Copies of this chain bind each other. A is one copy, B any other.
């Protein structure tokens, strides 16, 4: 909602960023990492509700999330919007804009967040020199394609309970990879946003949470989720 200009420049290098095992620098040696540092000097902070970019804006850079949480949403001309993803620290966002040199969706901070700007032409130039970086960039793009196929599968052939279970397990796994508990976490998004992402109405999301709670799979208290029975939740996904 807001559009404040309280974006600060901070000096934190890839080489001592605690996300380097998840983010772009994967598999780079010290010397190479320094060169990546030189590209990614610009950090910016965003308050909850602020836009990182908007659909239609020119493409200049990819963004690595350092802290916080974002959502991306595509808008239909008729006003309908679809959440296409929720991004957390270490993930790269803006890849969709490469194809047309313009962003094709909005990226909005779901909580106060900090990003790291990666000018794309300089990233391309560096990746021509560093095969390891080049390969990793390709892997990141490919991973996004695989992720999208997973969501297509979810939207195309799963029932509401399976969708929500898959969503929660995915969040759990990503929190876990970042050193947080896989069993208890805070949802940063509304029921409406979860529903948009999963192709469900917010009431259905809410009801499905309640069902899971009734069956002892989860403890849900609005935004706080605790997974009580991970195995049974897993068996939900793809069990019919």
A→B interface (CB under 8 Å): 74, 76-78, 80, 82, 84, 95-100, 104-105, 124-125, 127-129, 131, 134-135, 138-146, 148-153, 155-157, 196-199, 238-240
Contact = CB atoms under 8 A, between A and B. Distances in A.
Q: How many copies does the complex hold?
A: 2
Contact of A84 (B74, B134, B149, B198): B149
B156 A82 contact: yes
A124 B99 contact: no
A138 B198 CA distance: 28
Question: Which of A105, A124, A129, A153 has the largest number of chain B CB atoms within 10 A?
Answer: A153
Given A142-B97, A145-B95, A78 B238 contact: yes
20 contacts: A76-B157, A78-B238, A78-B240, A82-B149, A95-B141, A95-B145, A98-B138, A98-B141, A99-B145, A124-B134, A141-B141, A141-B142, A141-B145, A145-B148, A148-B149, A151-B152, A155-B199, A156-B197, A156-B199, A157-B199
